[in-house]
Protein backbone atom coordinates (compact mmCIF):
# COMPACT_ATOMS: atom_id res chain seq x y z
CA UNK A 1 0.00 0.00 0.00
CA UNK A 2 1.57 3.40 -1.00
CA UNK A 3 2.79 5.46 1.97
CA UNK A 4 1.26 8.72 0.73
CA UNK A 5 -2.14 6.94 0.50
CA UNK A 6 -1.93 5.84 4.14
CA UNK A 7 -0.72 9.25 5.28
CA UNK A 8 -3.55 10.97 3.45
CA UNK A 9 -6.18 8.84 5.18
CA UNK A 10 -4.43 8.84 8.56
CA UNK A 11 -4.10 12.62 8.65
CA UNK A 12 -7.40 13.33 10.35
CA UNK A 13 -9.49 11.57 12.99
CA UNK A 14 -12.37 11.48 10.48
CA UNK A 15 -10.44 8.95 8.40
CA UNK A 16 -9.49 6.60 11.22
CA UNK A 17 -12.55 4.42 10.63
CA UNK A 18 -11.50 3.76 7.02
CA UNK A 19 -7.99 2.86 8.14
CA UNK A 20 -9.40 0.43 10.69
CA UNK A 21 -11.55 -1.25 8.01
CA UNK A 22 -8.54 -1.65 5.74
CA UNK A 23 -6.47 -3.05 8.59
CA UNK A 24 -9.26 -5.56 9.27
CA UNK A 25 -9.29 -6.62 5.61
CA UNK A 26 -5.53 -7.17 5.75
CA UNK A 27 -5.90 -9.23 8.91
CA UNK A 28 -8.57 -11.44 7.34
CA UNK A 29 -6.52 -11.86 4.19
CA UNK A 30 -3.56 -12.98 6.28
CA UNK A 31 -5.61 -15.50 8.24
CA UNK A 32 -7.67 -16.97 5.41
CA UNK A 33 -5.59 -16.30 2.31
CA UNK A 34 -6.41 -14.13 -0.63
CA UNK A 35 -10.02 -15.31 -0.76
CA UNK A 36 -12.22 -15.52 2.31
CA UNK A 37 -14.11 -18.85 2.30
CA UNK A 38 -17.76 -18.58 1.38
CA UNK A 39 -20.43 -20.34 3.40
CA UNK A 40 -21.99 -22.97 1.12
CA UNK A 41 -25.66 -22.46 0.41
CA UNK A 42 -27.79 -25.47 1.36
CA UNK A 43 -29.52 -27.33 -1.43
CA UNK A 44 -33.17 -28.31 -1.43
CA UNK A 45 -32.48 -31.71 0.11
CA UNK A 46 -30.34 -30.19 2.87
CA UNK A 47 -33.08 -27.71 3.63
CA UNK A 48 -35.73 -30.42 3.80
CA UNK A 49 -33.53 -32.47 6.13
CA UNK A 50 -32.94 -29.57 8.48
CA UNK A 51 -36.62 -28.67 8.40
CA UNK A 52 -37.66 -32.20 9.32
CA UNK A 53 -35.10 -32.31 12.16
CA UNK A 54 -36.51 -29.14 13.68
CA UNK A 55 -40.17 -29.73 12.86
CA UNK A 56 -42.46 -29.45 15.87
CA UNK A 57 -46.22 -29.76 16.19
CA UNK A 58 -48.04 -26.62 15.17
CA UNK A 59 -51.46 -25.45 16.26
CA UNK A 60 -54.47 -25.20 14.00
CA UNK A 61 -55.83 -21.66 14.07
CA UNK A 62 -59.29 -23.07 14.75
CA UNK A 63 -58.28 -25.45 17.49
CA UNK A 64 -55.96 -25.85 20.45
CA UNK A 65 -55.17 -29.40 19.32
CA UNK A 66 -51.96 -29.40 17.26
CA UNK A 67 -52.01 -31.03 13.86
CA UNK A 68 -49.69 -33.86 12.99
CA UNK A 69 -46.35 -32.83 11.46
CA UNK A 70 -46.06 -34.70 8.19
CA UNK A 71 -43.15 -36.84 7.15
CA UNK A 72 -44.05 -37.49 3.55
CA UNK A 73 -41.67 -40.44 3.26
CA UNK A 74 -43.02 -42.58 6.05
CA UNK A 75 -46.44 -41.89 7.50
CA UNK A 76 -49.92 -41.08 6.25
CA UNK A 77 -53.34 -40.78 7.88
CA UNK A 78 -56.17 -43.22 7.41
CA UNK A 79 -58.32 -42.12 4.50
CA UNK A 80 -61.74 -43.58 5.25
CA UNK A 81 -64.26 -42.87 8.04
CA UNK A 82 -65.30 -45.34 10.66
CA UNK A 83 -67.47 -48.19 9.46
CA UNK A 84 -68.10 -51.82 10.24
CA UNK A 85 -65.23 -54.10 9.30
CA UNK A 86 -66.34 -56.66 6.69
CA UNK A 87 -66.59 -60.15 8.12
CA UNK A 88 -65.30 -61.64 4.90
CA UNK A 89 -63.33 -60.20 1.99
CA UNK A 90 -61.42 -61.46 -1.01
CA UNK A 91 -58.24 -60.78 0.98
CA UNK A 92 -59.10 -63.09 3.89
CA UNK A 93 -56.43 -65.67 3.11
CA UNK A 94 -53.69 -63.03 2.73
CA UNK A 95 -54.72 -61.31 5.96
CA UNK A 96 -54.84 -64.62 7.83
CA UNK A 97 -51.40 -65.68 6.56
CA UNK A 98 -49.78 -62.34 7.35
CA UNK A 99 -51.38 -62.13 10.80
CA UNK A 100 -50.23 -65.67 11.62
CA UNK A 101 -46.73 -65.05 10.25
CA UNK A 102 -46.16 -61.98 12.42
CA UNK A 103 -48.38 -62.85 15.37
CA UNK A 104 -50.82 -59.97 14.96
CA UNK A 105 -54.56 -60.13 15.66
CA UNK A 106 -56.44 -60.60 12.38
CA UNK A 107 -59.17 -58.21 13.50
CA UNK A 108 -56.59 -55.50 14.11
CA UNK A 109 -55.20 -55.99 10.61
CA UNK A 110 -58.70 -55.79 9.14
CA UNK A 111 -59.49 -52.64 11.08
CA UNK A 112 -56.29 -50.92 9.93
CA UNK A 113 -56.98 -51.87 6.31
CA UNK A 114 -60.57 -50.61 6.63
CA UNK A 115 -59.40 -47.28 8.05
CA UNK A 116 -56.56 -46.90 5.59
CA UNK A 117 -58.00 -47.98 2.23
CA UNK A 118 -61.49 -49.42 2.70
CA UNK A 119 -60.08 -52.65 1.24
CA UNK A 120 -59.17 -51.00 -2.05
CA UNK A 121 -55.78 -52.36 -3.22
CA UNK A 122 -55.47 -49.51 -5.75
CA UNK A 123 -56.08 -46.73 -3.23
CA UNK A 124 -53.69 -43.78 -3.33
CA UNK A 125 -53.84 -40.97 -0.79
CA UNK A 126 -53.16 -37.30 -1.61
CA UNK A 127 -49.79 -37.77 0.10
CA UNK A 128 -48.88 -40.79 -2.02
CA UNK A 129 -49.66 -43.64 0.39
CA UNK A 130 -50.39 -46.80 -1.55
CA UNK A 131 -52.48 -49.94 -1.46
CA UNK A 132 -54.48 -51.77 1.17
CA UNK A 133 -52.44 -50.66 4.18
CA UNK A 134 -51.50 -47.30 2.64
CA UNK A 135 -47.74 -47.65 2.72
CA UNK A 136 -45.76 -44.50 2.04
CA UNK A 137 -42.90 -44.89 -0.47
CA UNK A 138 -40.24 -44.68 2.24
CA UNK A 139 -42.01 -47.23 4.40
CA UNK A 140 -42.45 -49.61 1.47
CA UNK A 141 -38.74 -49.37 0.68
CA UNK A 142 -37.84 -49.92 4.32
CA UNK A 143 -40.02 -53.05 4.41
CA UNK A 144 -38.70 -54.29 1.05
CA UNK A 145 -42.19 -54.17 -0.46
CA UNK A 146 -41.58 -54.49 -4.20
CA UNK A 147 -45.11 -53.73 -5.38
CA UNK A 148 -47.30 -51.76 -2.93
CA UNK A 149 -50.34 -52.37 -5.13
CA UNK A 150 -50.00 -56.13 -4.91
CA UNK A 151 -52.36 -57.14 -2.06
CA UNK A 152 -50.09 -59.84 -0.63
CA UNK A 153 -46.92 -57.75 -0.84
CA UNK A 154 -48.68 -54.76 0.71
CA UNK A 155 -50.42 -56.61 3.53
CA UNK A 156 -47.35 -58.62 4.53
CA UNK A 157 -45.32 -55.41 4.60
CA UNK A 158 -47.94 -53.49 6.55
CA UNK A 159 -48.47 -56.27 9.10
CA UNK A 160 -44.72 -56.63 9.53
CA UNK A 161 -44.52 -52.92 10.32
CA UNK A 162 -47.50 -53.16 12.69
CA UNK A 163 -45.73 -56.05 14.48
CA UNK A 164 -42.62 -53.90 14.88
CA UNK A 165 -44.73 -51.13 16.46
CA UNK A 166 -46.35 -53.62 18.85
CA UNK A 167 -42.91 -54.86 19.87
CA UNK A 168 -41.57 -51.34 20.25
CA UNK A 169 -44.39 -50.40 22.62
CA UNK A 170 -44.50 -53.58 24.67
CA UNK A 171 -47.56 -55.04 22.97
CA UNK A 172 -49.70 -51.96 23.63
CA UNK A 173 -52.22 -51.91 20.78
CA UNK A 174 -53.24 -48.27 21.27
CA UNK A 175 -49.67 -47.02 21.03
CA UNK A 176 -48.96 -49.27 18.05
CA UNK A 177 -52.00 -47.92 16.20
CA UNK A 178 -50.97 -44.35 16.98
CA UNK A 179 -47.44 -45.07 15.77
CA UNK A 180 -48.75 -46.58 12.53
CA UNK A 181 -50.39 -43.22 11.85
CA UNK A 182 -48.03 -40.63 13.31
CA UNK A 183 -44.76 -42.50 13.67
CA UNK A 184 -43.11 -44.08 16.73
CA UNK A 185 -41.09 -41.00 17.67
CA UNK A 186 -44.24 -38.95 18.14
CA UNK A 187 -45.71 -41.62 20.42
CA UNK A 188 -42.51 -41.79 22.44
CA UNK A 189 -42.31 -38.00 22.68
CA UNK A 190 -45.80 -37.76 24.17
CA UNK A 191 -45.64 -41.08 26.05
CA UNK A 192 -48.85 -42.23 24.36
CA UNK A 193 -51.23 -40.99 21.69
CA UNK A 194 -49.86 -37.69 20.35
CA UNK A 195 -52.15 -34.67 20.72
CA UNK A 196 -52.81 -34.53 16.99
CA UNK A 197 -56.50 -34.51 16.12
CA UNK A 198 -55.83 -36.69 13.10
CA UNK A 199 -54.10 -39.39 15.13
CA UNK A 200 -56.59 -39.23 17.98
CA UNK A 201 -59.48 -39.72 15.56
CA UNK A 202 -57.60 -42.51 13.79
CA UNK A 203 -56.96 -44.44 17.01
CA UNK A 204 -60.54 -43.96 18.18
CA UNK A 205 -61.83 -45.17 14.81
CA UNK A 206 -59.81 -48.39 14.88
CA UNK A 207 -60.43 -49.16 18.55
CA UNK A 208 -64.14 -48.65 17.87
CA UNK A 209 -64.03 -51.27 15.15
CA UNK A 210 -62.26 -53.68 17.51
CA UNK A 211 -64.69 -53.25 20.38
CA UNK A 212 -67.40 -55.88 20.94
CA UNK A 213 -70.56 -55.30 18.95
CA UNK A 214 -68.90 -53.17 16.28
Q: Is 23 a catalytic residue?
A: no
- Residue 14 to residue 28: CA distance in whole angstroms: 23
CA dihedral 128, 110, 98, 154 (to 10 degrees): -10
Please list, in sequence order, all residues whose beta carbon lies within 8 angstroms of the beta carbon of residue 101, skipping any fewer than 6 positions away. 156, 159
Query: 27, 61, 67, 116: which one is catalytic?
Result: 116
Q: Three-class SS string for 110-169?
A: HHHHHHHHCCCCCCECCCCCECCCCECHHHHHHCCCCCCCCHHHHHHHHHHHHHHHHHHC
Active site residues: 116
Amino acid sequence: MPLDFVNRFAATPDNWGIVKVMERIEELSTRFGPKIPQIPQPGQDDFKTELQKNLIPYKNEKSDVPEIPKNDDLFAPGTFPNAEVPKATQFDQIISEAAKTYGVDENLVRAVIKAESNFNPSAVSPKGAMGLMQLMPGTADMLNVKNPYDPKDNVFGGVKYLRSMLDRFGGDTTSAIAAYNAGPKAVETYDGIPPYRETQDYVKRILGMLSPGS
